[in-house]
Structure 1
Amino acid sequence: MKIYLVVPLLAIISIFVVSATPRVTIKNGTLEGSVLQSRKGRDFLAFRGIPYARPPIGELRFQAPEPATSWTGVRSAKTDGSVCVQRNYDNPNLRSTGSEDCLFINVYTPQLPRRNKRHASNNYAVMVWSHGGGVDGSSHSLLYGPKFLLDHDIVLVTMNYRLGPLGLLSTADSVIPGNAGLKDHVQALRWVQENIGAFGGDPAKVTIFGESFGASNVHLLTLSPLARGLFHQVISQSGTAINQWPYHTAKSARENAHRLARELNCSTDTSQDLLQCLRTKDAGDVMMQPSDWPIFNGGPDLPFRAVIEFSNPGAFLTDEPGKLMERGEFADVAWLNGVNANEGALAAGALYASPNQTNVRRLNNEFTELAPLANGLDRDCSTSLLDDITRRMRQFYFGDRQIDDSTRMNVVDMISDSVFKFASATAVKLHRQSAKSPVYFYQFAYRGTLSYSAFSDPSRDYGVSHADELLYLFPVHEVLFPTGAMSQRDLQMIDVMTTLWTNFARFGKPVPCVSSILPAQWKSVKTDALEMFSIESPTSMKMVKDVFKDMINLWSSFRCRAGLSRTANLV
């Protein structure tokens, strides 16, 4: 008789736990969240739109973030906060979208701590996501939702940060030191340290991870004295601090700040004049950079980037990233870093999708003039040196062949190597030289049913594009490819990628033991052969080495490289 009473009682308790509105109290007040479900049907708790800093408006525009203020009562955390101000690509009638009041964080957890009189259990490893984009993007749950990763025992944190000039404008002095968007990351990590225990997360086991611009963000955090001790592991997907886009000189930062000010009819007589005027301008107007400034995600000419700050206790970046890495002045933490097989697919696709392939013919006929621009070579180099470099580049990638449709993948390889792979490989070498902690290197080589390359040219197969791995970590396809369906192999790849990434967060190793999902061991890099884990399909993955040897030899001989040319001996 007692057995029959226990079963329905347990069912009632289970229903109550699932359907009850979850509440959690943090330093700033009490939050009310919601119950969501993972891809495989697991219930988890979501707390969205949590302020981690004061709104960066008025006197706080362009400045370092300040901690969020407290609230009274119960704050609803059932929906995302506003995205940060950015260009509006979806509605041609609106120049910009979003709000300056955007410094919000989302937290997803399997369950809240089970508290008793003695202790609270805070056992889950924490993964903090930095989205890509640079001048656009957000961590909104519609795009970077939790339902893939929350099939695993981790706490996921996603954050917004200030973008473009609102996040990275600098006058290269004490008036607007710069790096505000990167300091947003630091403040978010401080928030995690103070509050994540209330969600069941372990503040001593925090992994920061990001893709593209977000990958360079998290790698820059390893170089920043402000972020020391706030995280314990890093995952960089297709981006590092020494790629072409993350950093520029104080001179360049000042010039771009002045140029933007002039566009908005602001005085540049002094930095204070510039600041006071720009603070009066609509945030959307500040974000609308001059039309002839490139806005391609991660392009070599991205006008607002990280900058070395003048010496002060609040400086985020104190020297060039390459030099800091050379000297070993970075957080000695385990690092998982890698690239996709055909990173240049997006850019090459746009090239080949031009009407009548006009731009392809131009690249073929004007290679000496256009190749340095397309591949991020330093314009300060002498003409004779650039001519020699472009000659060797053309021979390496094309030999005596024309640049046309038959050499499409050669163009992809050239852009992949110059913009992504060389910097990634170089960063791994530099990390290994100084760090005691392991570095794990990968190449994602699985082309699934869907690919980001469709956004530039849906008519051709360009291989495994930049950002394609995101399809297997987050449900981005639901928004970006609403009519596209994933195959069974794609669904298997979700299991593979989320297991690798969460294993690293939980255990410090992406493959702590071989299993049916992960049939091969992933070893850390031990030599300059750059031992690398090649992820080729849901059932095929293996260790390889010296894959990038010839490419590294070529690009390391080019000293006219933006972002790398000012570093003495990178390889």
Structure 2
Amino acid sequence: MAALVGVVAIVLSLAQANGVAAVFNAQAFRSDVTLLTHNDLYGNTSTRQAATIVLSARQSQEKSQVGCEALQETLWTLANGTDLDFLRYLDYEKVTDDVGLYWIGNGGAPGCKAITTLGKVQTTACDTRLPALCSHSASLSSPASTDVGPRWQASVNTGKATVLGYRDKLSFRFLGLKYAPRPARFGYSKYQAPSDNISALAYGPGCVQSGCREPSCSEDCLFLNVWTPYLPTKVPSTTKKAVMLWIHGGGFTSGYGSDTTFDGGNMASRGDVVVVTINYRLSTLGHLALDNTTLRGNYWLSDQIAALDWVRAHIEDFGGDKQQVTIFGQSAGAASVRALLASPLAKGKFSRAILQSVPGGVGYAKTFSEYLSISEATALTKSILDETSCAQPDKSLQLACLRALDPVSLVGGRTVARYPVVDGTYLTSKELLLNGSGPTLDVAVMTGVMRDDGDPFSAFSKSSNASQALIEQGYNAAEIIGSNKFPVPNGLNTTLDIFNLTSRVATDAMFRCLTQSTAYSSVSNGVFPAVYSYEIDRGYQISEWSPNPPTCEAPITPGHPYGDPNAPYFHCHSGELYSVFGTIIRQGRQPRDQNDIPFSQYLLDSWTAFGRTKNPNPARDFLRARGFANTSAIVEGTTPWGTVDAGNPKLRALNVKPKDEGFRELEQCAVLGFPLDYYAD
């Protein structure tokens, strides 16, 4: 590794001559670099704080020290009582049984020291060629505190560009990377290769949405963010990580890839994956369609496909594997995943898909899964034309008027476009075809809901009559009440009893029924090679959105000042997001009981296991190697999560003690007109 020392020496001497610290460059460094820590998701309150930077290059102790100095670190010196179990992961998936040995600092003791992956320190001849463990001094970042100073910066060469990011304790972070140039308003985006020097130290602006304008939001908003625990020196690397690309929700009218709820650091670190989040155009700017013009909608979908093209072109330079891409999203993000599964232009760009709480069925939810025709979308566009004074007889004048408007007026009016449409190019059928008439897809799928997903889409009724409350919310009260499948709870609070009924109906009619039909129908007709189904029975509602308060919040009790998750409350839409991304602590929330963080560990471990292997059951040897005792205990205490069997469909009920159950509310779904075989025929 003489080349490594030569490059490092040149970089250091140039930096010293200019009086500044050198910026680490992955490709020039000539060694793969991994950030490794236990990461139990407890943040700074964790009792397991040890972290190290792993240099894969095998070289002498002296050269390893020079390599660490290039990262502005030193060879790792162990503190007394350091928990070293996480080092076992360095031997995971080795083809031989030998125990790894790595250079560390000698702590002032004579001789050169190395440590085994079992934590045994030994004196070793200094010219032995070994990989090395460097100190890792970067702190945890948070929404309120991020240090992007030169000491922590790292650059990656990709294509004709050099991208400057930084590291914190958990991952290398590259934020605000443009994946496509600003498209013309109501034009389709296309991936464009980056060039020159790019700063990726801060998020780019979000896409224009109601209440957000320049500079926080812009029409020039097609940015993505990358979190990776690993940077290779050469591409293709033999140690590529699975990629998980997140698509945010927000009803197709709001949301950001930079939302810190979805910070990818914990998922990348604990799950050993590369995480990507994206912006895409929203509301009328992302969806407007008008017949007999070039406005055919689905601009948002072209954005998402362009982001996938960027990932396929560049993610390997950031340690990812372009052949192992999972797309996952929640709510409108899950509807996006569904549309990408349906789109012929997205085929082959990903191999796994997770759909969390896809809206579909009745009312507000219908058009997320059943796509409008151009003529149907045009009927809605006419209202927008009227409201914006662009309703002129000549279509070309209408387009010119719409393109000249302040973008905020297009997304903040009484009527906005937010519908996927059958444009004949990006979407060619009115829904994802699961009845056997469409193509089979080599994509493993995981899909599910929150137990009370419909709570935010119901409302407290002023009526004490259940039928009247259902009618107010657009349901066929006679069929629902007359079926005797939806009894009204008989509690002490009539208003809450009726809300329980309408929330149950909303959950079934807008989320659960068609999610279960999606799983059943796709398996019945062999659309996907594997389908896993779940329902989450524990929620921690995000602080930014908690409708119908306090129904989605665990009730506060003297023994549980932050809420008692074991007491009755609604497990609502978006209630899984903190847990899936492992961001409860990072977002400034407190564990409500001793199970909140272990449950988050289990969900994150299951989601990333699916990303790595197409199977949500974390491998037991992986968990042992990582020292993930809590998830190990859960996995060992239950049967494996199986794929959906059309003959006996089951879901995994996800809670502190997961279990398998048959699909839920099947009789109720039939009453609502959404039987299990709804999509099958």
Q: What's the TM-score, normalizing by structure 2?
A: 0.68
**Is 1:136 matched up with 2:136?**
no
Q: In the comparison of the two structures, how many residue pairs are matched? A: 510
Using a 3 Å threshold, how does the CA distance of structure 1 residues 389 and 265 change in structure 2: closer, same or farther? same
Q: Highest relative contact order (Cα 8 Å, sep 6+), 1 or 2?
A: 1
1:318 equivalent to 2:428? Answer yes
Q: Is the 8 A contact 2:296 2:374 kept in 1?
A: no
Q: Does 1:152 align with 2:152?
A: no
Q: CA deviation at 1:223?
A: 0.6
Identity of aligned pairs, percent? 25
Shift of 1:543: 1.4
Distance 1:137-1:397 versus aligned 2 partners, 3 A rule: same
Residue of structure 2 equivalent to 1:123:
240
- Output one character per residue of 1:426-480: Cα deviation in whole Å (capped at 9) or x when no partner: 111221122251100001112458788744302665321111110112366568x
- What does the per-residue CA deviation read over 1:197-241, in whole Å, with 9 as the maximum and x for residues that have no partner? 111111111000000010010111001000011000100000167
- In the TM superposition, 1:298-317 aligns within 5 A as 303-309=417-423, 311=424, 315-317=425-427
Q: Which amino acid aligns with 1:130?
A: I
1:510 aligns with one of 616, 623, 642:
616
Rate the CA distance shift 1:449–1:229 in 2: closer, same or farther, 3 A. closer
Higher mean alpha-carbon deviation, 128-137 vs 174-183, is at: 174-183
Equivalent in the alignment of 1:244: 366
The residue identity in structure 2 corresponding to 1:100 is E
Q: Which structure dedicates a bigger proportion of its chain to helix?
A: 1
Counterpart contact for 1:168–1:305, Cα < 8 Å:
yes
1:320 shift after superposition:
0.9
Q: State the match for 1:100 in structure 2.
A: 219
Change (3 A) 1:491 1:369: closer
For 1:469-548, list aligned pairs within 5 A. 469-474=576-581, 477=584, 482=588, 484-513=590-619, 515-519=632-636, 520=638, 521-537=640-656, 540-548=657-665
TM-aligned CA distance change 1:389 to 1:111, over 3 Å: same
- 180, 183, 186: which is aligned to 2:302? 183
Residues 125-147 of structure 1, C-alpha deviations (whole Å, 9 max, x = no match): 00000000011111105232113
Q: Is the 8 A contact 1:83 1:160 kept in 2?
A: yes
Range with greater deviation from structure 2 (120-129 or 63-72): 63-72
Q: Mark the runs of 5 or more structure 1 residues left unpaired by the alignment.
A: 39-43, 294-301, 353-358, 376-385, 559-563
Partner of residue 177, structure 2: 50
Residues 233 and 335, structure 1, Cα contact 8 Å, conserved in 2: yes
Q: Over residues 157-207 of structure 1, what are the superposed CA-to-partner deviations in whole Å (9 max), with x where a residue is unaligned?
A: 100000011111111455111100011111100111111111111111100
Asked if 1:269 is matched to 2:269, the reply is: no
Shift in Å, 1:277: 1.1
Answer yes or no: is 1:550 the counterpart of 2:667. yes
1:442 aligns with 2:534: yes
Match of 1:32 in 2: 164
Q: 2:360, 2:511 within 8 Å by CA — same for their partners in 1? A: no
Tell me, in whole angstroms, the C-alpha distance in 1 between the residues paired with 2:67 and 2:477. Answer: 76
Paired with 1:368 and 1:408, the residues of 2 have a C-alpha distance of 10
Q: SS in structure 1 opposite 2:172?
A: strand
Q: Secondary structure at the match of 2:207?
A: coil
8 Å contact from structure 1 (residues 49, 105) kept in 2: yes
Change (3 A) 1:85 1:196: same
- Aligned with 1:258: secondary structure? helix
State the distance in 2 between where 1:182 and 1:330 align.
21
Superposed displacement of residue 529, structure 1: 3.6
Alpha-carbon distance in 2 for matches of 1:516, 1:276: 62
The separation in 2 between residues aligned to 1:489 and 1:557, in whole angstroms, is 35
Does the CA contact (< 8 Å) of 2:206 and 2:256 recur in 1? yes
Correspondent of 1:61 among 185, 204, 219: 185
Change (3 A) 1:21 1:45: same
Change (3 A) 1:221 1:7: closer
Gaps of 5+ in 2: 1-58, 74-133, 137-150, 555-568, 621-631
Q: Secondary structure at the match of 1:468?
A: coil
Q: Distance between the aligned counterparts of 1:510 and 1:201, measured in 2?
A: 19
Q: Out of 333, 336, 354, which is 2:443 matched to? A: 333
CA contact (8 A) 2:445 2:528 kept: no
Q: CA RMSD in A?
A: 3.2
Contact 1:113–1:120 (Cα < 8 Å) also in 2 = yes
CA contact (8 A) 1:371 1:390 kept: no
1:342 aligns with 2:432: no
190, 195, 198: which one aligns with 2:317:
198
Structure whose alpha-carbon radius of gyration is higher? 2
Structure 1 pair 5/400, CA: closer, same or farther in 2 (3 Å)? closer
- Decide whether the 8 Å contact of 1:115 with 1:121 is kept in 2: no
Shift in alpha-carbon separation, 1:407–1:365, aligned structure 2, 3 A: closer
